[in-house]
């Protein structure tokens, strides 16, 4: 598993819903150097089970390959076109609240930033959370190798840092009337504190009240191998399989989310930045959903957490986008 806006926004094995990939138009700006693009390290269509699922590049806690859609990872030409588009824009064009950068130097921070750009592009190929899971690649192993190198005595690389990545700013392209529940909660929120930099920091009460609901519970319909039903159906109409311990309990979820918000990034995956605005705008709702997604995807380390399909976050994102277009 790996990083979200999460390695986001998110989220990782089985963290996105997969769809057939459309042809993207050519880029208008200078493309990235293909030699710097992280390799998938895996191919699609490995060991199909006849229901649309194939083996991924990552094993679960039982030592068995995590199942991924058989079309994942995508065609490299299609992926590179999508990555070029996102890098040129500075954000994931199909999910604008997810920011990215693609620095070309060889520092550890830049390597992590490029890996993050590849991961969020992969996870949002067709829309917010609609693409391929990171478990269909070796991105998690590559990130682990990068992190390990930073701890090697005498290493000249710098530790991964958020400084090399454009700070995430939420999209202002849409406006959405927030739900009655969220609106009511916002009206009764305690006053936020104001740090020295002038930005508003939400209180613990605000975070708990405005945190997107997980919308699912752990341990549903266990198959005896450590997998349980997720909150999202696959292309075969059956629930996507997730680790039975996912999603986390509410206390763990809120505690981790709060810690990440206080830090301004995912503590266990510092290259993934996040914000948690408390207003009722569409952009703020998207930013909060992204913060929640990258939190659960990195609960136990970079890319080590719960997939987005262990929640109803994708449906919530769809509802936000649909409402903003009305």
pLDDT digits (tens, 9 = 90+) for 249-264: 999 999 999 999 999 9
Q: For residue 149, give the DSSP letter.
A: H
Quote the CA–CA distance of 29 and 11 in Å, as a whole number. 28
Letter string b/e over residues 33-45, b meaning 16 or more CB atoms within 10 A of that residue's CB: eeebbbebebebe
**Residue keyed to tokens 């040129």:** 88
Environment class of 322 (CB within 10 Å of its CB; exposed 0-12, middle 13-18, buried 19+): exposed
Quote the CA–CA distance of 198 and 77 in Å, as a whole number. 44
**Per residue in 166-212, pLDDT tens?**
222 222 222 222 222 222 222 222 223 333 233 468 999 999 999 99
Tokens in use for 131?
């693409």
Residues 6 or more apart whose Cβ sits within 8 Å of residue 310: 214, 216, 218, 230, 231, 242, 243, 246, 247, 296
Residue 42 pLDDT class (50, 70, 90 cuts): very high
**Per residue in 253-310, pLDDT tens?**
999 999 999 999 899 888 788 899 999 888 889 889 999 998 998 888 877 888 888 9
Which whole number is the average pLDDT over 133-144? 88
DSSP structure string for 154-193 = T--SPPP-GGGSPPP----S---PPPHHHHHHHHTPPPPB
Quote the CA–CA distance of 305 and 71 in Å, as a whole number. 23
Residue 241 pLDDT class (50, 70, 90 cuts): confident
pLDDT at 272: 83
pLDDT at 184: 24
Q: Where are the alpha helices (DSSP H) in the chain?
A: 4-8, 76-89, 108-123, 139-150, 180-187, 204-210, 250-263, 282-297, 313-324
pLDDT at 160: 31
Neighbours of 251 (CB within 10 A): 8
């Amino acid at each position: 598993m790996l990083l979200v806006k999460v390695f986001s926004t998110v989220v990782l094995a089985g963290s996105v819903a997969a769809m057939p990939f459309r042809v993207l138009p050519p880029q208008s700006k200078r493309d990235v150097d293909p030699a710097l693009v992280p390799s998938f390290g895996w191919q699609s269509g490995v060991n199909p089970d006849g229901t649309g699922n194939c083996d991924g590049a990552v094993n679960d806690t039982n030592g068995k390959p995590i199942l991924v859609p058989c079309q994942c990872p995508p065609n490299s030409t299609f992926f590179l076109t999508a990555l070029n588009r996102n890098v040129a824009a500075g954000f994931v064009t199909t999910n604008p609240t997810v920011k990215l950068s693609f620095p070309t130097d060889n520092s550890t921070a830049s390597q992590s930033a490029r890996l993050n750009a590849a991961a969020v592009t992969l996870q949002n190929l067709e829309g917010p959370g609609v693409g391929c899971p990171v478990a269909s690649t070796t991105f998690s192993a590559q990130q682990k190798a990068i992190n390990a190198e930073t701890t090697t005595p005498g290493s000249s690389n710098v530790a991964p840092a958020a400084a090399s990545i454009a700070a995430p700013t939420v999209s202002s392209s849409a406006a959405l009337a927030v739900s009655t529940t969220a609106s009511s909660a916002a009206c009764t929120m305690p006053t936020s504190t104001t740090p020295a930099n002038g930005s508003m920091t939400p209180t613990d009460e605000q975070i708990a009240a405005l945190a997107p609901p997980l919308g699912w519970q752990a341990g549903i319909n266990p198959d005896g191998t450590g997998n349980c039903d997720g909150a999202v159906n696959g292309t075969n109409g059956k629930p996507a399989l997730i680790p039975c311990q996912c999603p986390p309990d509410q206390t763990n979820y809120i505690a981790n989310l709060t810690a990440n918000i206080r830090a301004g990034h995912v503590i266990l995956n510092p290259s993934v930045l996040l914000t948690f605005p408390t207003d009722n705008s569409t952009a703020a709702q998207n930013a909060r959903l992204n913060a929640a997604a990258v939190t659960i995807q990195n609960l136990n380390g970079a890319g080590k957490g719960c997939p987005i399909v262990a929640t109803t976050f994708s449906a919530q994102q769809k509802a936000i986008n649909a409402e903003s277009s009305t």
